[in-house]
């Protein structure tokens, strides 16, 4: 089951409608205790293309429109999040204050934010494959520059 978190009911409903247009089953559930809205989409039977499109739509609605609502005071959001797919196939959400998300989005596109968090998750899940030091990276670049100058 995929859970997509929103802080505005109209955005959640908009996402659910777009998910249904892609052939997914989507249900909208309000969570009063958290002042949020969750759109639940069963993952079974959805193609990779549909899953990718759902992520793109969510990025657009959540990152861009939700951040704008928070910025102008149209939402009571206390947190925003970036949804990540772990190596196990499970999804998790990294939560952060809306002000931090707005700062990230003032510099990076939603896709770049998603990619940044995915790289961090990969490094945490696979420390052996991602271990290096600044010195080793700089040393490799120096060696490459020396080879190019020969």
Domain ranges (residues) in the chain: 2-149
Whole-angstrom distance, CA of residue 41 vs CA of residue 33: 21
pLDDT tens digits for range 100-112:
877 887 888 777 8
pLDDT of residue 39: 92
Task: Say what the pTM is.
Answer: 0.53
Nearest to 1 by CA among 20, 26, 18: 26
Residue 146 has pLDDT above 80, yes or no: no
pLDDT tens digits for range 78-105:
567 777 778 887 777 787 787 787 788 7
């Amino acid at each position: 089951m995929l859970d997509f978190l929103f802080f505005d009911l109209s955005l959640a409903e908009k996402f659910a409608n777009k998910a249904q247009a892609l052939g997914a089953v989507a249900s909208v559930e309000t969570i009063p205790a958290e002042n949020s809205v969750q759109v639940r989409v069963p993952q079974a039977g959805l193609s990779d293309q549909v899953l990718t499109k759902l992520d793109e739509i969510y990025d657009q609605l959540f990152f861009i429109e939700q951040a704008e609502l928070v910025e102008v005071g149209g939402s009571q959001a206390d947190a925003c999040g970036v949804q990540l797919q772990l190596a196990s196939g499970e999804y998790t959400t990294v939560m952060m204050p809306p002000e931090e998300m707005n700062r990230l989005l003032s510099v990076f596109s939603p896709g770049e934010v998603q990619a940044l968090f995915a790289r961090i998750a990969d490094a945490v899940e696979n420390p052996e494959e991602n271990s290096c030091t600044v010195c080793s990276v700089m040393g490799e670049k120096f060696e490459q520059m020396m080879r190019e100058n020969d």
